[in-house]
Amino acid sequence: MKFKKTHNIDEISNSMEGSSVVIGGWVEDLRKLGKLTFLTVRDVTGLAQVIVKDLSMVPEDLTRQSVIMVQGAVQSTKARDFTFEIKADGVDILTKAVHPLPIDPIGRLESDIDNRLNARALDLRNQRVAAIFKIRHHVLASLRRILTEKRFIEITTPKIIGSASEGGANLFSLEYFGKKAYLAQSPQLYKEQLTIGLERVFEISSFYRAEKSHTGRHLSEFTSIDIEAAFFDYTDVIEVLEDLVIAVFSDVVQNCKAELAILERNLEVPKKPFDRITYTQVLSELEKAGINLKFGDDLLDSHLKIVGENHPGLFFLLDWPMSLKPFYIHEKDEDPKLSRSFDLQYGYLELSSGGRRLHDPAKLKARIAEQGLDPASFEDHLKSFDWGMPPHSGWGMGLDRLMTVIVGIDNVREVVLYPRDPDRLSP
């Protein structure tokens, strides 16, 4: 490198007229007008116009998206889209990009999502795509800040595990030094155990589901936000979730104005309280729509579409039948057929599910057997319930699904850098 970068592009303004600066970035556009060459150069913070008077500074074969550094003086400009320009007195060509590129990185020519994902690093030069991942960064920062303020402690649990955390279905298995191992579907068992030592815990990590689903909301590797809290009932963790979603939306609206503008997204901060609808109410809504389900029937996609049309925003779906819930969920004292559990829905889309957990080891063991699971494979987990397990509740929320709601794009592949689904294992 001939020069040392002095400024990010967004740190330069027309008030710096006459100052010498060095920027580094990618050539977005390049035009020759008589003896002048006009370059636009983009870094992660913005776009600058550069004027080169000396033809020898810019080789004939300089391609778009090549990496350059420019040293020059800031000057005012008449160009419509810029508030300043840089008159180059030195250009260092650091890497030449191939021509043609596999996709148009500026997005003038639309590429389909498969081609874009195959060239994801380049796809991020498209400002709409970069905006999504800048927002995702702010969402993650916001989640960590808010949960920390609520006295949750961040944990990291194993992703290679010896037995299923969510029951037997949808598990990826692998060979682990001659033994069979699995990729964790969720941190469920660990987060429950850790309420013993840390009381309130959260994890934000990748988890794995071998689901052969080809939808806009299922991935084989997804990011889950999980919490678990000792001495909390399910109504308490519902409140944490409600506060968290409102605070995250509000942080995004405050901190990501430019990104939301690029996405032409008018994000509204939801208001408290979100509607609370019971499973039994849903059955009667469906009945009115001509669909007769019995208590205990699961809600299929087609049912949730109808419920979503009736309730288009955020709402909690409460009090599911125990028969539909995982072994660790606690029943309602007043009606043991009902569970102390909930889902957070955005219309038909399930964003989160959670509930109060069983903390009595005998009851938990009985439920494991009742669900046809082998108590022996939960031996380590069950042991910890004899060491002073507090009553506890928690939930898991799909970050990728939450992101689709925030950016208003209906496909999780758009909000994950390198998505994994049944058809995609690379790049």
Binding site for ligand AMO (CB under 6 A): 166, 186, 188, 209, 211, 218-219, 222, 224, 226, 350-355, 394-398, 400-401, 412
| Dihedral pair phi/psi, residue 262, rounded to 5° | -60, -40
8 A C-beta contact, residue 260 and residue 249: no
What single letter denotes the amino acid at residue 255? Answer: N
Shortest Cβ contact with ligand AMO: which residue?
A: 398
Report the nearest approach of ligand AMO to the CB of residue 390 (Å).
16
Minimum CB distance to ligand AMO smaller for 27 or for 204: 204
Report the nearest approach of ligand AMO to the CB of residue 225 (Å).
9
Minimum CB distance to ligand AMO smaller for 9 or for 412: 412
**Two tokens, residue 185:** 């579907």
Minimum CB distance to ligand AMO smaller for 203 or for 259: 203
Minimum CB distance to ligand AMO smaller for 85 or for 319: 319
Query: Whole-angstrom Cα distance, residue 54 to residue 36?
Result: 8
Tokens 């944490």 -> residue: 240
Length of the chain: 427
**Two tokens, residue 40:** 């636009």
Q: Nearest Cα to 350, choosing from 414, 395, 297, 416? A: 395
What is the CB neighbour count within 10 angstroms for residue 157?
20
Whether residue 427 is preceded by a cis peptide bond, meaning omega within 30 degrees of 0, is yes
Minimum CB distance to ligand AMO smaller for 125 or for 340: 340
Report the nearest approach of ligand AMO to the CB of residue 346 (Å).
10
8 A C-beta contact, residue 25 and residue 82: no
Tell me how many degrees the CA angle 29-32-37 measures, rounded to the nearest 5.
Answer: 80
Tokens 């408290």 -> residue: 272
Minimum CB distance to ligand AMO smaller for 164 or for 412: 412
Report the nearest approach of ligand AMO to the CB of residue 344 (Å).
8
Report the nearest approach of ligand AMO to the CB of residue 396 (Å).
3
Report the nearest approach of ligand AMO to the CB of residue 46 (Å).
33
Report the nearest approach of ligand AMO to the CB of residue 284 (Å).
24
Residues 6+ apart with CB under 8 A from 346: 313, 314, 401, 405
Minimum CB distance to ligand AMO smaller for 126 or for 188: 188
